[in-house]
């Protein structure tokens, strides 16, 4: 079965620092990859997605992710984080209509 | 469009009791999904409906769990004879055709605590 793994469980950054959250996927074929964010007390929201084309994907709120097939990676980046980016971030992939989520990375941004 | 609505937001129940959760998807979405999320984990797939038909079920969905989507609109998830291990956040999501490529819209979830 397909899966994703997130190795950073907790990340603490100061405002304006750069962010990179790791995500590795297991499947060697065609993959769809997603990053979701869950702000405190809110529902999961889609940040960005990749399924083909340009491997550098831009999402909402200044986030981007790069699909690197040779490394089976889809890392999330943001050049300068804000306090409002404090949230839980989930990488995901899917097989048909079944999504597989990573265990999540908790990001805390200190003002 | 008010998004995906779930009711109740929180439910505390005694072990052995039955509970039922409701999900109202985005009105034009014909696909509806249930996921379960426990502390420190990402959401895990439970089941999926296209219109009123339940097309996929996870092995996580034991015989005590049943989901319905009558008339292809709202859905209910029932857990019979609840156990402490059922304590989790139950998430509902919906999508139109192509949700597998474009992602879902999630609700805020129902947090179940079994005491």
| pLDDT one-digit tens code per residue, B41-57 | 899 999 999 999 999 99
Q: Please tell me the predicted confidence (pLDDT) of residue B67.
A: 97
Token duo for residue B70: 């009558």
CB nearest A94 (choices: B42, B100, B108)? B100
Residue % of chain B over a pLDDT of 90: 81
**How far off is chain A from B78, nearest CA to CA, in Å?**
20
A92 to chain B: nearest residue by CA?
B42
Average pLDDT, chain B: 93
Is B42 in Cβ contact with A98 (below 8 Å)?
no
Coil, strand, or helix at residue A69?
helix
Q: Please tell me the predicted confidence (pLDDT) of residue A14.
A: 97
Residue % of chain B over a pLDDT of 70: 97
Is B48 in Cβ contact with A97 (below 8 Å)?
yes
Which residues, 6 or more positions from B97, have their beta carbon under 8 angstroms from its beta carbon?
Answer: B30, B31
Handedness of CA A84, A86, A77, A18 (dihedral sign): positive
Q: Which residues of A touch B109 (CB under 8 A)?
A: 43
- Highest-confidence range of A98-102, B12-16, B40-44, B99-103, by mean pLDDT? B12-16
Q: Please tell me the predicted confidence (pLDDT) of residue B40.
A: 85
pLDDT at A3 over 80: yes
CB nearest B101 (choices: A42, A51, A104)? A51
pLDDT at A24 over 90: yes
Coil, strand, or helix at residue A47?
strand
CB nearest B108 (choices: A43, A90, A99)? A43
Longest dimension (CA), chain B: 40
- Nearest one of B84, B86, B87, B92 to B68, comparing CA atoms: B92
Cβ neighbour number for residue B64 with a 10 Å cutoff: 13
Task: Tell me the pLDDT band of B101, cut-offs 50, 70 and 90.
Answer: confident
Average pLDDT, chain A: 93
CA separation for the pair B96, B28 (Å, rounded): 7
pLDDT at B84 over 90: yes
Q: Which residues of B touch A97 (CB under 8 A)?
A: 31, 33, 48, 55-56, 99-100
CA separation for the pair A36, A45 (Å, rounded): 5
């Amino acid at each position: 079965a397909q899966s994703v793994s997130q190795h950073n469980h907790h990340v603490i950054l100061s405002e304006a620092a750069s962010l990179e959250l790791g995500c590795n996927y297991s499947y060697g074929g065609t993959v769809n990859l997603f990053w979701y964010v869950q702000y405190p007390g809110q529902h999961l929201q889609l940040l960005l997605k990749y399924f083909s084309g340009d491997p550098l994907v831009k999402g909402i709120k200044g986030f981007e992710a790069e699909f690197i097939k040779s490394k089976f990676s889809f890392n999330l980046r943001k050049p300068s984080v804000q306090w409002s980016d404090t949230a839980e971030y989930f990488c995901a992939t899917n097989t048909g209509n079944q999504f597989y989520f990573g265990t999540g990375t908790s990001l805390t941004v200190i003002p | 469009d008010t998004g995906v609505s779930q009711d109740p937001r929180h439910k505390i129940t005694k072990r052995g009791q039955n509970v039922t959760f409701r999900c109202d998807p985005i009105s034009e979405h014909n696909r509806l999904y249930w996921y379960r999320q426990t502390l420190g984990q990402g959401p895990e797939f439970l089941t999926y409906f296209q219109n009123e038909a339940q097309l996929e079920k996870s092995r996580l969905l034991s015989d005590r769990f049943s989901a319905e989507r009558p008339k292809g609109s709202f859905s209910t998830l029932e857990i019979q004879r609840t156990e402490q291990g059922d304590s989790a956040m139950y998430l509902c999501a919906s999508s139109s055709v192509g949700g597998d490529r474009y992602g879902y819209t999630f609700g805020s979830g129902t947090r179940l605590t079994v005491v």
